[in-house]
Copies of this chain bind each other. A is one copy, B any other.
Amino acid sequence: MMKQGAKKEQIDLVIRGVKEAGLDPRPLHGTERTVIAVIGDERKLEKDKFKALTGVEKVMEVLKPYKLASKEGKHKSKVRVGDIVIGGERVIVIGGPCSVESEEQIIAIAKEVKKAGAHLLRGGAFKPRTGPYDFQGLGEAGLKMLAKARAATGLGIVTEVLDPRNVELVAKYADVLQIGTRNMQNYALLKEAGKQRKPVLLKRGMWATYKEFLLAAEYIMSQGNREVILCERGIRTFETHTRNTLDITAVPVLHELTHLPVVVDPSHATGIRSLVAPCARAAIAAGADGLTIETHTHPEKSVSDASQTISTEEFIQLMKELKAIAKAVGREL
């Protein structure tokens, strides 16, 4: 769209630029301005260059900048982790502590969540902490404990990777690689995860629009790994009573924009234990394909995120509520 009063040579420059990119320009001379419509795959255009031309007011996009992640014309994807299918009829639940603390701890919790009906086990060995003096996780020792918990329960392991140098190491133990909110635009890490043949649970950056979220998924997919699970985990808003604001609408919006499965993390979104259950129920009612929930046999002793971790007793109760909601929306859990 040209500015009001743009000169003929400025308009011609845009038209020439569109032609040079192999596309078909169609100038529309309105009563107040000229708009140049473009026929063809506009993704070939470097839009930013056009914005920089004198006389150009703005460049409006028609096509989406992501392709592999885009819904257009595709069926909903299913991501498989062993027997577990994410994105199918069944709603899946990933349960476990924030951090792996010890072999006993993780095995005890794994058994409890298994008994309650969870499908996968979560637990951090590498922890992203806001302050450098906070507990940073047990590292590879923690990964080994997770592997033992898997052996003891049969539950697949979801665990976070923070550093591109650790992707192979984590992939050796994990069934699903988790990329956290702070790293949603850590492109070195995304590319490395894209080279693995393990599903990736990608958390939305707390500042990220849907478009940016899907472009981050596109980074992983463009490296060859199509097994991406999107996770809404709260965005940053002016409301500080809760840790973040759960964007529940992300669930149906993402289902419209992408074929990838969508899960929700009510623990990090709210940061408050008593809010986890209502938000988990809401997520399934909104159509989420799964949930990831922090739970601990002794939440008050959890070394991190204690205030948002529910007890395994509460987890068992919540699973019952979730089954009822899943049924009400025509799914199972």
Interface residues in chain A, defined as those with a beta carbon under 8 Å from any beta carbon in chain B: 1, 4, 26, 28-33, 35, 37, 39-41, 43, 46, 48-49, 51-54, 60, 62-63, 65-66, 72-73, 128-133, 162-165, 182-183, 185-189, 205-207, 209-212, 215, 218-219, 222, 235-242, 245-249, 251-253, 256, 269-270, 273-275, 278-279, 281-287, 299-307, 309, 321, 324-325, 327-329
Contact = CB atoms under 8 A, between A and B. Distances in A.
Given A185-B130, A256-B274, A281-B285, A48 B304 contact: yes
B131 A185 contact: no
B4 A52 contact: no
A207 B238 contact: yes
A206 B209 contact: no
Of A43, A62, A185, A249, most B-chain CB atoms within 10 Å: A249
Contacts of A131: 65-66, 215, 218
Contacts of A209: 238-241
A186 B187 contact: no
A62 B249 CA distance: 28
Given A30-B39, A31-B39, A132-B222, 13 more contacts: A1-B62, A4-B73, A49-B301, A52-B273, A165-B165, A183-B185, A207-B207, A207-B236, A207-B238, A235-B245, A242-B253, A249-B278, A284-B285
Nearest to A70: B4
A238 B241 contact: no
Contacts of A186: 162, 182-183, 186, 189
A148 to B, nearest CB: 26
A301 to B, nearest CB: 7
A172 B66 CA distance: 35
Contacts of A26: 28
A309 B49 CA distance: 10
B240 A128 contact: no
Contacts of A60: 60
Contacts of A33: 62-63
